[in-house]
Structure 1
């Protein structure tokens, strides 16, 4: 009888410290799992494409656009304003740009950060556009026509300056 009295303290299970000590580990793992799931859902990476086969076949079409721009001698200098609200494009090609040019700012990992800038002609070989200010420190800059016949592109790191050269310049074509 005395042995049974020693084992039965009369306290409910939720007031036992050993229960909470043993259950704290699994409880922390479950909470960490929910936190990790939340991080994954909010920070999904846009670089993964479900239709990778079709995208791989389209690479040849993209290369044709690059070759077309090279054969046409298309080149440009892109100048961004200091406040990152406007952009000017100077056509450095020997002939005027064919088609209607547009400027794309492509974020390396977040597709929702991409910008399509409509360019308006303001001079003989000068175009201007308005962009949304963004503090991103790495971009892919692409100048192309809206019909998808040619494109010139390059990487741009805003920390290195507010100007970038795309394609061949007129001085490179006619030395």
Structure 2
């Protein structure tokens, strides 16, 4: 008397093979999605020549020390309605032009360089085509065409209602 064993279903009707195939398929799918996202949203924030940029830090510190020695500071006002940018510079330096570098924290292609013209005692003006939005790092330097002797730095979130203070960096 032999007991009959129930027939075993084929593998494709079993739970565990499909569970294992599902885990492998999900991990491959997620990996491909993350790969596509990392390629599409590459931020490019790592410099190619980081060693030279590291050496340039001493130059930046010297420029900021020079601004501190000259007693420089600036107040930036941005009018979102007209697009005017007005900088009031105080201290011992009065160049004919200033260069304002607007540096976007995460996307280098959005960076901008503006030239401000001297209007009267310490006041510099320029106009923007499009109003600024979001957070920016600001670098203000003399814009006479040669290597800048000093630099003022700041950070701003636009549109700004209050004036933005630019000072020698720390």
Into which bin does the TM-score normalised by the smaller protein fall?
0.7 to 0.9
Aligned to 2:48: 50
Distance 1:160 1:98, change over 3 A: closer
Once the two structures are TM-superposed, the CA of residue 20 in structure 1 deviates from its matched residue by: 4.6
Q: Is the 8 A contact 1:118 1:130 kept in 2?
A: no
Give matches, 1:142-157, under 5 Å. 142-146=139-143, 147=146, 148-157=148-157
Q: Is the 8 A contact 1:81 1:162 kept in 2?
A: no
Distance 1:98 1:37, change over 3 A: same
Once the two structures are TM-superposed, the CA of residue 118 in structure 1 deviates from its matched residue by: 1.7
Stretches of structure 2 that go unaligned for 5 or more consecutive residues are 1-6
Aligned to 2:127: 130
Once the two structures are TM-superposed, the CA of residue 61 in structure 1 deviates from its matched residue by: 0.7
Aligned to 2:39: 41
The alignment partner of 2:120 has SS state of coil
Distance 1:59 1:96, change over 3 A: closer
TM-score by length of 2: 0.75
Superimposed CA distance per residue, residues 14-64 of structure 1 (whole angstroms, 9 cap, x where no aligned partner) = xx4546544222112111111101111122233322322111111111111
Q: Give the helix-richer structure, 1 or 2.
A: 1
Give matches, 1:79-158, under 5 Å. 79-83=77-81, 85-93=83-91, 95-98=92-95, 100-131=97-128, 132-136=130-134, 138-146=135-143, 147=146, 148-158=148-158
Aligned to 1:76: 74
TM-score by length of 1: 0.73
Q: Is the 8 A contact 1:139 1:155 kept in 2?
A: yes
- CA RMSD after TM alignment: 2.8
Stretches of structure 1 that go unaligned for 5 or more consecutive residues are 1-5, 169-175
Superimposed CA distance per residue, residues 80-105 of structure 1 (whole angstroms, 9 cap, x where no aligned partner) = 11348331111222x45236311111
Q: Give the strand-richer structure, 1 or 2.
A: 2
